[in-house]
Structure 1
Amino acid sequence: MYQTNNEGEEISAPEKFTFFCDMSMQEFSFGVGALGVNGLCLGMMLNIPTLTLHNLMYKVAPKGILQPDTTDQERVWVARVVIDHWYRRTAEWPPRKRFKMLYDAFKMLKEKRIAEEIKKRFEADEPMTLEMFYTFDLGRMGPYVPPLVEVDNGVVEGEEEEAYAEEEEEEENAGAEEED
């Protein structure tokens, strides 16, 4: 699209800054990562193959993201590379289809506030910026708890031995009472 200036020369019109532009997606991916959204789960919801997710993760987080000593920065980078990969992979898709997939992914991850903010920005054709994350609680990242830790009747790791010792004593006492 061309416009003319006062002298009659044609100049190109500035490109419209839309929802799915590079800068918008970069800020969005950083904001999502900073909130602590699990990049691997997000990648699965965006239909990225598991091996691709694995390779993306280990490029930026050599130890993976399920280790207790994984840094927040590594988790942010995993979310960023997953969103960047999805953005490049779907570049030829119509914007409505891309939006729908992104929106549905966050709804499935129970990140409804992010999903609603995405919807609002898409309908207004506004770019996603870091300002949209200012209202979120950034403290929810907190200490990472691996998903494999199970709590057994309110018993936390390390307290198991004490709890089982108490159960054994109760069983012994119950057995001794039956003998009397």
Structure 2
Amino acid sequence: MADRMRISLSRGDITEQHVDAVVNAANSSLLGGGGVDGAIHRKGGGAVLAECRRLRASHYGGGLPPGQAVATTAGNLPARWVIHTVGPVYSTSEDRSAVLASCFTESLRVAHGLGAESVAFPAISTGVYRWPLDDAARIAADALHNAEVTVPRVELVLFSETALAAFRRAFDTA
């Protein structure tokens, strides 16, 4: 399906991307945190947090489960929407790769449903959730290349040169 999507990789700050939707590597509370989640909430401002609180008060009282995705306004970000997805914590004793793949495919499904023409992804689960970069990049590449639902332009915005190199290897763009 990737032939209907143009996928690009770059090093940068996901909160500065001029795309229709930015994917947030959220925690299940949807109320902000560290890393990408904290940066998106800080820059997006009160409107993002207010919509997340409404989601918690209605459909996601127990939090957003890992592998699922939900959209809110982007607030002060240069995007139209934030798509929040909760990546799995890496485990050496349990294979959670399908949950990580679901973060990408469910986020694409939500973006498609919104009518987004472009979406930016971070390296989901590779920060505080400790997923090894090379493996996360491979899972992301497989998920995006095999997704049933697509958007015209997908950007993977990586925060470090190390992450960018891992994702380039996985997407064969080195």
Q: For the superposition of Structure 1 and Structure 2, which TM-score range results when normalised by the shorter chain? A: under 0.3
CA radius of gyration, larger in: 1
| TM-score between both structures, scaled by the size of structure 1 | 0.27
